[in-house]
Amino acid sequence: MVSSYASTRSFFIKDASSLANGQRQKSVAQAHGALQKRLSNSERWSKEKTTRDRWKKMDPVLVQKKVE
């Protein structure tokens, strides 16, 4: 009886640690994805060389308000 208790206990402990490990990997993956997204955004922003290109992409109504 004691041995079955010990094996059950170790199973639950292993299960809990693997669950925590899975959560950690998931959060690391999410952080990595967010970083990649941010990098690609800044890359795209730097590709538009001039400010004029950026203004062209903006909403014309907002640009009009800024100019006035």
Is 46:37 a contact under the CB 8 Å cutoff?
A: no
Mean pLDDT for all residues in the chain: 65
In the prediction, which pLDDT does 34 show?
72
Q: Is the pLDDT of residue 68 over 60?
A: no
Q: Give the residue extent of every domain in the chain.
A: 2-67
Give the span between the Cα atoms of 27 and 20, in whole angstroms. 11
Whether the pLDDT of residue 2 is over 60: the answer is no
pTM for the complete prediction? 0.28
Give me the mean pLDDT over the 44-65 stretch. Answer: 64
Please say if the pLDDT value at position 37 is more than 70.
yes
* Separation between Cα atoms, residue 53 and residue 48, nearest integer Å: 6
